[in-house]
A and B are shown apart, each in its own frame.
Chain A
Amino acid sequence: MTASDLDQAGPAARSRPAVAVLAVPVVLGVGVAVALGVYGSLHEGAAYGISIAGFSSGAVAKSWLASGAFVLAIVQVVTGAGMWGWFGLGDRARVAPLHRWSGRLAILATLPVVTHCLYAFGFEHDNARVLAHSLLGCLFFGAFATKMLALRLRSVPGWALPLLGGLLFSALAGLWLTSALWFFTTTGVAR
């Protein structure tokens, strides 16, 4: 399950993509998810985080950043499908840059949010919403790491990237529902 797997699977996969080539990205991605969960559990929630200019509170800033990431994630799904010929978006070379950069922006938008979650709260399980949010957060960044690493492979099974992309979108949608939407509906839409 380590580098030796890749050495064997990599060349073989050039002709026939085997599931095994995904072993390293998946193992590392699971490692990322577990590491985030362990850090979140061990680190005592500090109830503090650096503030982001222009918002009345950290929770508001996080809610808007998460909402921005969610909108970009929809762009991700559309352009991702477009790269596989859907929606008549045209040439893959034209769609790919949009897919790449909307993805990078989406991840960038999530980083202040996840670091605040991790530092200020940690992994919590007080209620179903908080538990689901904590689990989805770990899943999201694990899936992100897996997908970035899988993109580096010369050849992967055809279903792998759509699956990982779908997983990323689903996790982010769940994260948004259990945080930003919850916040806006309980506290009100604020800036």
Chain B
Amino acid sequence: MTTIEIKEAGFTYPDGTRALEDLTLTIPTGMRMAIIGQNGAGKTTAAKLLNGLLKPTEGSVQIGDWKTTEKTTAQLSRKVGYVFQNPDDQIFHNEVIEEVRFGPKNMGFDNDKVEEITRWAIELCGISEYAEENPYNLPYSMRKFVTIASVIAMDSDVIIMDEPTAGQDKIGLEILGRLLDVLKEKGKTVITITHDMEFATAHFDRIVVMANRRIIADGQATDVFYRPDILKESMLKPPAVAHMAALLGFGDGVLHRSELVELIKKRHLVE
């Protein structure tokens, strides 16, 4: 069990830039949580506290029974996998399969498990046909899947993904959706940072909204996207479906396409 417990954590970068204030969050095992908010709101800093890449300058971050300040980033990476926003910060092998194999090898899995989990991760990320390629010959969106595969192959309890939908086409979004379903079945905790409100609404049980270095809302999608005050402060826009529902005069709470379609069908097929 790897519950994440953050208490009154703050963070100031060495140059004095204040990036986070008073972050308090409990993330139980198996939760799927999206962090949303404007560029510069502190999302990536918050995520980096969760995996120990950054240590809080105040308060505490605890991963299972480990305090992040007492462990090295390498130790913490066994519990929390992190997919960077920019895949090029993360890729350093010249063959996709080598890149993906690196993590599980380092985890000390036996050879069979390394091979098995490497293949599994590559297939799940839809990059099997590129296994022998140099990652840098692949387009950005595929390089992102190389880094996702590398992280899930480590089989850590918690997986953090920074902007996984950026630059993905429809096929890429479908692969991501499937991947999240598989991770859910395996009971993994998945935390994502995203600007894609449709993605957040479709796949995450809990939405944390950040603005100006703080959490300003924490709940289900409907608790967030129908709150004008929160939208205003965070400068976010609700998913397109909410806008369409409003145009048609449906009440609050509609967020999924299927809900909207049902409401319209009811109204227009009965008449």
A associates with B: no
Residues of B within 8 A of A (CB): none
